[in-house]
Amino acid sequence: MDPRLGRMASSSLAFLLLLEGGMFSPSSPPDGLQERVFQYIDLHQNEFVQTLRDWVAVESDSVQPLPHLRRELLRMMAQAADKLRHLGATVASVDLGSQQLPDGQTLPIPPIVLADLGNDPKKPTVCFYGHLDVQPARPEDGWLTDPYELTEVDGKLYGRGATDNKGPVLAWINAVSTFRALEEDLPVNTKLILEGMEEAGSIALEELVQKEKDRFFAGVDYIVISDNLWLSRRKPALTYGTRGNSYFTVEVKCRDQDFHSGTFGGILNEPMADLVALLGSLVDSSGHILIPGIYDHVAPLTEEERNMYKAIDLDLEEYRNSSQVKKFLFDTKEEILMHLWRYPSLSIHGIEGASNEPGAKTAIPGRVVGKFSIRLVPHMDMSVVDKQVKQHLEYIFSKRNSSNQMAVSMVLGLHPWITNVKDNQYLAAKRAIKTVFGTEPDMIRDGSTIPIAKIFQDVIQKSVLMMPLGAVDDGEHSQNEKINRWNYIEGSKLFAAFFIEMAKLP
Amino acid sequence: MDPRLGRMASSSLAFLLLLEGGMFSPSSPPDGLQERVFQYIDLHQNEFVQTLRDWVAVESDSVQPLPHLRRELLRMMAQAADKLRHLGATVASVDLGSQQLPDGQTLPIPPIVLADLGNDPKKPTVCFYGHLDVQPARPEDGWLTDPYELTEVDGKLYGRGATDNKGPVLAWINAVSTFRALEEDLPVNTKLILEGMEEAGSIALEELVQKEKDRFFAGVDYIVISDNLWLSRRKPALTYGTRGNSYFTVEVKCRDQDFHSGTFGGILNEPMADLVALLGSLVDSSGHILIPGIYDHVAPLTEEERNMYKAIDLDLEEYRNSSQVKKFLFDTKEEILMHLWRYPSLSIHGIEGASNEPGAKTAIPGRVVGKFSIRLVPHMDMSVVDKQVKQHLEYIFSKRNSSNQMAVSMVLGLHPWITNVKDNQYLAAKRAIKTVFGTEPDMIRDGSTIPIAKIFQDVIQKSVLMMPLGAVDDGEHSQNEKINRWNYIEGSKLFAAFFIEMAKLP
């Protein structure tokens, strides 16, 4: 759909002109429902923006552990619960107790809101996950507008949480409320699970999902998440995979204390020399991981998959410029996307135990811990990777004949997530996108790890769909985060169209 | 001399018995002077220990930039100036203004004390350098006694600064005061330069030495420093060289901000991967530096020098145990000492820009700075080393074909110092050691860099002698720093004997 239509239709004069053309007469066939829904959304878009403004105004920052921010978070969750109750949902706010911080402070964890709308056994039940907490935002960090006052400039709605994730959550609610306002039967049963700690590591979410598996989640057929972005500014996308992550530490120790480099330099196996040799053995300068066997279980590239990459719109020049990177390791769109999404990568993050301060410290660190992680892809097995990494580092270390001690640990392991793009709800989502945007979506993955998708897939054992609404330049987590009015309003229509398509599924 | 003699002689009964023997009758030949001096020192050793106790009681910590500690430092310098005035010295306290800290705070720099005793043109003029500031010491760090209350246990005088450097400074003063007390002519003219900022980088010292070159230092023939330790617990040593140091930074930059390793991992030349490859190319696992040409100017080992190493007493097993190091790179005393003293070494100290905190941070650092230093030995040329390091790293980097930028800098350069062990004052010092301790000294070097020796050598252009008094286990800079009563008292005699030997030189 032409993006200008959204703006045109927001003028009631334009709407009346269209109405006079008889497009929405009561004699519309059953599929006239969709047009009425879209029309309603266009007509009421300013109300929808106002609700987003009300929600953005709540400083629901879960990252900074400050009592007044936690009160804002509680207020945010209560506001969402109220909104859902007004729509007729059965709402439970699950108290999650409190969180003890390392400094001894205790802060309440905001409740998770579970809402339930409809239980018609003839309809599919779609559960939407979203979060209402936000990253910190301080005006002095470079915000051009007040981060907690939604401000529209050239069709862009600036405000913290506008795209991550308050806008998409409200788009789902807008879609539901439109059916309610039109007194139309909602084509699906829908549930919502809204949390307030996503930016702080989704404390308590997995435990709750486990606990509610046979209660709240009992009748759920599909799960929808809308917490990432398109790959482009204009073209919608569906996400069907995320990489996992296995995080390793490698400790090399001579003794616990540091050494004076004058008094000991020249006669020691220095732990840092061992460690840079170990870290230097992991990946070559072309990004290829050197750990033997690491690529063995990477899913082979099929012709069909290759074609999916070809179909994706990506302006490499713009991507390079916006990343401020002089040159990537690869020159083609396909290679770049595949190395971000479907091949593993290894990054070295830092070294504990060695000075990282400015100045010319001359100590020889006595014990150092190198840190690196491998982004995992299907069908890599975390325990196999763990073994391969350890064997490789032990081999490299043994060749050095060092008198130090080495210890390798995998301290964090998150599985990759991938789903079948031929799943029913992907088909429904594609049809809805075609209806609203007039195009096929980019079929994308996310190179980073979004643990909730995998948690839902594993615990609830239902298909998970990731259907982003925001544009690539929305700046989630950055200064001047925004969602375009167009994305927000067309996104509300997209969810409504998705309900209709879901109802049509066999 | 048998160490037990010191303890015996401290009893006045023992002294009287010796006196009755007529050893110190007025008819003693001129060399009876030495015996009288030694006797006086033995007799008054408790007074000398008391003065050390008074000085240790002043918390003259120059490292922690706290106003009350600076007041203690000023008090310490004033106390030393008073002591020297009482001995009849002409004393100047040179005001050095103040120091601005990075946080904006301004603190006074303690004055440097310049003292002058005697100007007989027929005597050599020996200038003693020492410092009266100390490293921080907190009882809770593991001190068994109050660090600022000198406490004697089993002949060990525990206290911060006892060996570094208040004890040796007082030993020199004790030697001078003994001649005064005995109303004997001091065999040498002596000057003292005492600073209060050695532990904080000797701020303002070099500038003052330059300024006083043709004034205070005009008539100086020799310079003596006693600010390091023996290699053993029991055997005295003379130090004839220290290593220099050239400190390098190597920056690898993709962009100023970090990257998300999920969103960018796999398509970047990651700066950390480049950096570990660069740092890994510097030194092999046997400690051999891999920079081409770096050993070209290292002084060849002569047979004479090899013999000096053979003569040194070093209990390797004890050294290894006290260092808490399982295994050194070399197995023989000679190899270990040569690699600490007369061969260069390369140590990697840390990395700026990468996380060094606990936890599993997943950022890809956008810009990292590796830090390493090379301890320099005669006759390595700092500017040649600078060039060799840069050429080597540029070559390694070019082979990686990375799109990042690399920049190498030598941020600190300190020349090695070596002196001729056949210099007059080394001969005098050896004779004095033979007299007091009945043995030849270990002829040692220091693997670390003591810039003052080189500064004095370069600016004053006179021979510098390093004559330590403390035992290897004194724990300078550590908890439970101590000087043995025996070292302190015999050290006072050593300086007195040195004066006498110096006067005998042609």
Which residues touch A273 (CB under 8 Å, ≥6 apart)? B280, B282, B283, B285, B348
Query: Which CATH architecture best describes the domain A3-241+417-504?
Result: 3-Layer(aba) Sandwich (3.40)
Looking up tokens 């059916």 gives A179
Q: Yes or no: say if B368 and B251 are a contact pair by the CB < 8 Å rule.
A: yes
Let me know how many helices (H) and strands (E) chain A has, helices first: 16, 20
Amino acid, single-letter form, for residue B475: G
Distance CA A195, CA A455 (A): 14
The answer to whether A303 and A293 are in contact (CB under 8 A) is no
Nearest CA in chain A to B253: A325
Most A CBs within 10 A among B348, B450, B478, hence the mutation to make, goes to: B348
DSSP A470: B
**CATH code for the part of the protein at B47-241+417-504:** 3.40.630.10
B269, B348, B360: residue with CB nearest A276: B348
Tokens in use for B253? 């930059």
* pLDDT tens by residue, A434-474: 999 999 999 999 998 888 999 999 999 999 999 999 999 99
Report pLDDT digits (tens) over A265-297: 999 999 999 999 999 999 999 999 999 999 999
Mean pLDDT, residues A58-63 taken together: 95
pLDDT at A103: 82
Which of A231, A347, A351 is best to mutate for the B interface (most B CBs within 10 A)?
A347
| A313 Cβ contact partners less than 8 Å away, ≥ 6 residues apart | A231, A232, A235, A442
Task: Tell me how far apart the alpha carbons of residues B179 and B201 are, in angstroms, rounded to a whole number.
Answer: 34
Residue B20, pLDDT > 90, answer no
Q: Report the residue of chain B nearest A399, measured CA to CA.
A: B285
B350 and A329 in contact by Cβ < 8 A? no
C-alpha closest to that of B351 among A356, A331, A258 = A356
Cβ contact B358–A365 (<8 Å): no
- As a 3-state breakdown, chain B gives helix, strand, coil percent values, each rounded to 5, of 40, 20, 40
Tokens 């042609």 map to which residue?
B506
* Residues of chain B contacting A411 with CB distance shorter than 8 Å: 360
**Reported confidence tier of residue A31, pLDDT bands at 50, 70, 90:** low
CA–CA distance, B39 with B45 (Å, rounded to integer)? 10
Among the partner-chain residues A273, A328, A361, the one whose CB lies closest to the CB of B283 is A273
**How near does any CA of chain B get to the CA of A268, in Å?**
5
Give chain A's radius of gyration (CA, Å): 26
Residues in chain B with CB shorter than 8 Å from the CB of A361 are 349-350, 371
Question: How far does the CA of residue A140 sit from the closest CA of chain B (Å)?
Answer: 18
Between chain A and chain B, how many beta carbons pairs sit less than 8 Å apart?
A: 247
| pLDDT score at B449 | 87
Summarize the confidence of residues B383-392 as an average pLDDT.
98
What's the gap in Å between the CA of A11 and the closest CA on chain B? Answer: 40
CA-to-CA distance for A426 and A234, rounded, in angstroms? 20
B86-120 pLDDT, tens digit per residue, is: 999 999 999 999 998 888 889 999 999 999 999 99
Catalytic residues of A: 133, 198
Among the four given CATH numbers 3.30.930.10, 3.40.50.2300, 3.30.70.360, 3.40.50.10490, the one describing domain A244-298+343-414: 3.30.70.360
Task: Provide the pLDDT for residue A451.
Answer: 86
ipTM for this prediction: 0.84
Nearest C-alpha of chain B: how many angstroms from A328? 5
* Residue % of chain A over a pLDDT of 90: 81
Determine, for residues A285 and B263 on separate chains, whether the beta-carbon distance falls below 8 Å.
no
| Lowest-pLDDT choice from A360-369, B15-24, B155-164, B250-259 | B15-24
Residue A28: is its pLDDT beyond 50? Answer: no
Judge whether residue A20 has pLDDT over 50. Answer: no
Q: How far is A244 from chain B (nearest CA, A)?
A: 9
Distance from the Cα of A193 to chain B's closest Cα (Å) equals 26
The pLDDT, as a whole number, for residue B201 is: 84
**In terms of pLDDT, which residue wins out, B207 or B24?**
B207
How is residue A37 written in tokens?
């829904």
- Asked if residue B282 lies in contact with residue B372, where contact means CB atoms within 8 angstroms, the answer is yes
Contact A347 B327 (CB under 8 A): no
Return the exposure string of B17-30: e unless at least 16 CB atoms fall within 10 Å of the residue's CB, then b.
Answer: ebeeeeeeeeeeee
Please report where in the chains the tokens 């929405």 appear, as a residue: A24
- Top pLDDT among A101 and B373 is at B373
CB A411 to CB B269 under 8 A? no
The phi-psi region of residue B143 (left if phi > 0; otherwise alpha if psi is between -120 and 50; otherwise beta) is: beta
Q: How far apart are CA B155 and CA B469, in angstroms?
A: 15
pLDDT digits (tens, 9 = 90+) for B208-228: 999 999 999 999 999 999 999
Mean pLDDT to the nearest integer, A407-417: 93
Query: Do the Cβ atoms of A403 and B340 come within 8 Å?
Result: no
The DSSP-derived string for A90-118 is: EEEEE---EEE-TTS-EEEPPPEEEEEE-
Question: Per the CB < 8 Å rule, is B339 touching A266?
Answer: yes
Q: How far is B45 from chain A (nearest CA, A)?
A: 33
End-to-end CA distance of chain A: 27
Q: Do B323 and A264 touch (CB under 8 A)?
A: yes
Q: Cβ distance A55 to A165 under 8 Å?
A: no
pLDDT at A13: 34
Contacts of A208 (CB under 8 A, 6+ apart): A94, A96, A112
Per annotation, catalytic residue among B59, B116, B133, B258: B133
- Quick one: pLDDT band at residue B26, thresholds 50, 70, 90? very low
Question: Residue A329: which of B267, B351, B365 has the nearest Cβ?
Answer: B267
Cβ-nearest to B351 among A262, A351, A363: A351
> Regarding beta strands A112-117 and A90-94, do their DSSP bridges make them parallel or antiparallel, or are they unpaired?
antiparallel
Query: What pLDDT score does A358 carry?
Result: 81
The rounded mean pLDDT for chain A is 92
From the number of C-beta atoms within 10 Å of its C-beta (0-12, 13-18, 19+), residue A312 rates as middle
pLDDT band at B8; cut points 50, 70, 90? very low
pLDDT recorded at residue B264: 94
In sequence order, the β-bridge partners of residue B414 are B245
- pLDDT band, very low/low/confident/very high, at A383 (cuts 50, 70, 90): very high
Residue A168 token pair:
């998409």
Residue of B164, B276, B283 best to disrupt the A interface, most CBs of A under 10 A = B276
Q: Is B329–A269 a contact, with Cβ atoms under 8 angstroms apart?
A: yes
* Residues above pLDDT 90, as percent of chain B: 81
B133 a catalytic residue: yes
Per CB-CB distance under 8 Å, the chain B contacts of A328 are 267-268, 403
Q: What is the pTM of this model?
A: 0.84
Nearest Cβ partner of B279 from A276, A343, A346? Answer: A276
Report domain extents, chain B. Answer: 47-241+417-504, 244-298+343-414
CB B289 within 8 A of CB B344: yes
A259 Ramachandran zone, left/alpha/beta (phi>0; psi -120 to 50): beta
Q: Which residues of A touch B343 (CB under 8 A)?
A: 266
Note whether A3-241+417-504 and A244-298+343-414 share their fold. Answer: no
Angle at Cα A238 formed by Cα A415 and Cα A503, nearest 5°? Answer: 110
Residues of B in contact with A262 (CB under 8 A): 243, 245, 375, 446-449
DSSP B140: G
Q: What is the mean pLDDT of chain B?
A: 92
Q: Which of B479, B417, B413, B410 is nearest to B447 (CA)?
A: B417
C-beta atoms of A266 and B343 within 8 A: yes
Chain B residues near residue A254 by CB distance under 8 angstroms = 325-326
- The gap from C-alpha A65 to its chain's centroid, in whole angstroms, comes to 22
